[in-house]
Amino acid sequence: MSFQKINMKLQNSTNQNTDLICQIDKLRIPKHVAIIMDGNGRWGIKRGLTRSYGHNQGVFILKNIIKLAKKIGVEVLTVYAFSTENWSRPQGEVKFLLNLFEKVLNKETVEINKECIKLNFIGDFSPFPENLKQIINSSQALTKDNNEFTLNVCANYGSRQELINAAKNLAKRSVSGEIKPEQINEGLFESELLTKEFKDPDLLIRTSGEIRLSNFLLWQLAYSEIYITDVMWPEFNDDEFLKAIINYQSRNRRFGGIESLSNKSFKNSFYSS
């Protein structure tokens, strides 16, 4: 399949979402959506193209999903762009991904700012090239006052390391006498996380059919609804995103509790040996 045909197919799919939008309950939109954008490289190889082409197509899809999420009322979108484990990939692919990251920010940040989107980066940027670190900092500075929508980009992020760092910081504060061990609770622990400014995601979407969290927001996803789709990220168009939202709205979020039931529901239900 040619590049032109693939792009035409994806663009046509993107525009066929009117019926799905009509099914959306505007009062039950998830305020915070997290996405594991998986399957870029495999999508490219499967079509006789390159992994790099798959990653480029993934950027195209992300731009569309950002616009749609903002349009329907999502307030925060958090995407897994580059994990701490991704350094183990072939050196050529890692270099390509970092270069792509830099090019996209250079090209899109001005437009993102015009759309009143706040760009926020989460992760350890110390291993990144200096140029990329400067672009990350300048992008955040340019958009820091925008308040219509927030895009969190997790780059060189690993949740286990985030949790370890939080524990270390609390230990240091305890040793210094700033806090007592018995004062440590969920709220205090969360104040040490990289996502402390945001409420936990309401919905996690993972593409390409993999059923795992892959070291992504392990603490924050404790009560998030999880939506898994076999569709790979470069084909995750507007319709697929709306399907995920509709699926989310079909669920009853109880956060470990149950719906109000009469006492009769528990009558004669005691276990006996």
H-only helix segments in 82-153: 91-114, 130-143
Examine the residue annotation and report whether 86 is marked as an active-site residue of this protein: yes
Annotated active-site residue in 64, 86, 165, 215 = 86
Characterize 64-98 residue by residue with b for buried, 16 or more Cβ atoms within 10 angstroms of its Cβ, and e for exposed: bbbebbbebebbbbbbbbbbbebeeeeeeeeebbb
The encoded tokens of residue 105 equal 């920010």
> Does the CA dihedral 146-32-257-160 come out positive or negative?
negative
> Cα separation of 129 and 117, whole Å?
25
DSSP state of 121: E
> Cα separation of 37 and 191, whole Å?
27
> Cα separation of 7 and 4, whole Å?
5
> Does the CA dihedral 260-33-128-139 come out positive or negative?
negative
DSSP state of 226: E
So which residues are the catalytic ones? 38, 86
